A and B are shown apart, each in its own frame.
Chain A
Amino acid sequence: MSRGERLALIVIAAVILVLPLAANDYVLSLMVIGGIYAVLCTGLNLFMGQTGQISFGHNAFAGFGCYGSAILTVTYGWSPVFALLASVMAAVAAALLIGYPTLRLRGHYLAMATLALGLIMYELSVQLESLTAGFLGISGIPALGIGPWRLSGDVQYYYAIWAMVGLGVWIYGRIVDSRVGRALGAIAGDEHAARSLGIDVSRYKLLAFVISAAYASVAGSLLAHYVSYVSPEVIGLGMVTLLFTMLFVGGLGTTTGPITGAVLINILPALLTRFQDYRQLVYGAALLLVVMFAPRGLHSLGNLRSVFGGSTR
């Protein structure tokens, strides 16, 4: 991590810390959602940014978290933390299973295979009605907590979730700056060269895939508990567009990118209050604009780059 990025993280942390003092309830709740997506995007960033792969299907793993937590806590009365852990384990198992054949693919084949995975998950959440209540969704999901303590109110959720973001980013940073991270970066740079230096490319791709799946599942669980309702829409194709927009706006491959992207894209509809109903349209347009004009993220526009540091790792 460059000094610029470290500085940026400190600034972000400071802002996050004091924000509740100044913000109203609405902004606060947007920031909670932003934090949840920041977790998802950080994990996806490890797979797509650091390792240079493609996934159009991480909504599937978020689905494990959303529905896993929802079903286990509502239908079976599990404690939220155990439900979260169980969902992560299921997501990791699925990622291991499906990752092995999928990651042998490249380019658009990989993109379409992961898209198919995400869509299968969506369809399953609609079809397995006895488990998921189909389009009706599952409501009444209890608050997140351990034992007798439960989170209540936006402020508590805010700090709890941003603490998780902090943990997620810390883990990401440690991995990226390590031997493992360098191997992942080598895969992103040139797979043949990586193999010629003894790096087991398939194994490391799978590792990045599984870790990002775990992040997505955690984010899904957090979302389920905060909103206390899940339905198939949440993990549909809309989430895929959203994730890409966030990652690209923030900057793929950077450490702060997932955070700034997630927050900005979440805040965006609120800023343009007239456009509330046009959220999806705005996301689509934003994605198109970013892809056209700022594929390295907003920070590649103008001189913001020099503020946030030169190299991205």
Chain B
Amino acid sequence: MIEPLLNIEHLTKRFDGLTAVQDVSFSVPRAAITAVIGPNGAGKTTLFNLISAFHRADDGRIVFAGQVITNSSPERVARAGVVRTFQIARLFRQMTALQNVLVGFHLNTQGNVLAALLGRRWYREQDRRIQAEARRLLGIVGLADLADTLAANLTGGQNRLLEVARALAAKPKLLMLDEPAAGLSSSETAELVRLVRDVRKQGMTVLLVEHDMKLVMGLADEVQVLDFGRRIAGGTPEFVQSHPAVIEAYLGSGSRSKGADHA
């Protein structure tokens, strides 16, 4: 069996008495799309923040491609090959769309101040190459015409797509998308789905958090369900869809007991 790319082991995170993530364990298989779903406040974004080292874990560990990346730093995690997008797109608003994507190439390019000043052939070639690549990526997400528009002037949906293009520029081994479809029109969502499928076809591993059930069930190869910080189910979309604990978690109205153990 092929080794999973990412292993979450007994991950726990507390905030001032509130346990946001409680003893969560699962694996993310290679070259597949794994979705993390759950009602609001289930701990999905906290999980993302833990993996990308924006939060320190109180317990447990995260192993990526054989490397323990728990409690490292966001830039080191990125360098290891994990690139994420954010729930509210974090773009460089003062830069154009093209320039935003160009920043994504930072990890895979070289060149310090001296290189910038000398402007040797290899440096200029590299620059030409990434400029062309950046335009290509913008084309893939359908933003080719907006390459020279300031990010501040793009719509919310365009912001998300730009963020994905920028993340792809970093050539991640694991692409983490935090609610990528939120605020997208139906045509933009279709665009996104096509993109994620293409990206998986090329061998990239995708981990995404999403609320849109239809999207998740149609797109994901595997689904992990969180509720109140615990993992309550995991498996294929069909399996998870009909799992009683999952149905309970989503339907749950009125009397729900906190911390009821379903897993």
Direct contact of A and B (CB under 8 A): yes
A interface list, Cβ under 8 A from B? 171, 174-175, 177-183, 185-186, 188-190, 192-201, 207, 211, 253, 311-313
Contacting chain A: which of B88-96, B194-202, B227-235? B88-96
Are A196 and B52 closer than 8 Å at their CB atoms?
yes
Give bound CA distance, A171 to B113, whole Å.
Answer: 9
Are B90 and A192 closer than 8 Å at their CB atoms?
yes
Closest 10 CB pairs of A and B: A189-B92, A178-B116, A198-B78, A193-B90, A195-B74, A198-B107, A179-B111, A190-B90, A186-B103, A195-B75
Are B86 and A211 closer than 8 Å at their CB atoms?
no
Q: Out of B96, B105, B111, B150, which one reaches A178, CB within 8 Å?
A: B111
CB distance from A109 to the nearest CB of B (A): 21
Give bound CA distance, A36 to B75, whole Å.
Answer: 38
Measured between beta carbons, the chain B residues less than 8 angstroms from A313 are 94-95, 99
Are B95 and A189 closer than 8 Å at their CB atoms?
yes
CB distance from B67 to the nearest CB of A (A): 15
Measured between beta carbons, the chain A residues less than 8 angstroms from B84 are 196
Measured between beta carbons, the chain A residues less than 8 angstroms from B95 are 182, 185, 189, 313
CB distance from B165 to the nearest CB of A (A): 12
Interface majority SS (helix, strand, loop, mixed), chain A: helix
Given contacts A185-B103, A186-B103, A199-B106, whether A192 and B86 have CB atoms under 8 Å apart is yes
Give bound CA distance, A177 to B99, whole Å.
Answer: 10
Measured between beta carbons, the chain A residues less than 8 angstroms from B150 are 311
Q: Which residue of chain B has its CB nearest to the CB of A187?
A: B92
Q: Which of B110-127 contact A (CB under 8 A)?
A: 110-113, 115-117, 119, 127
Given A175-B113, A178-B115, 8 more A-B residue pairs with CB atoms under 8 Å apart are A175-B117, A179-B127, A180-B112, A182-B102, A193-B92, A197-B78, A197-B103, A197-B166
Measured between beta carbons, the chain B residues less than 8 angstroms from A198 are 75, 78-79, 83, 106-107, 170
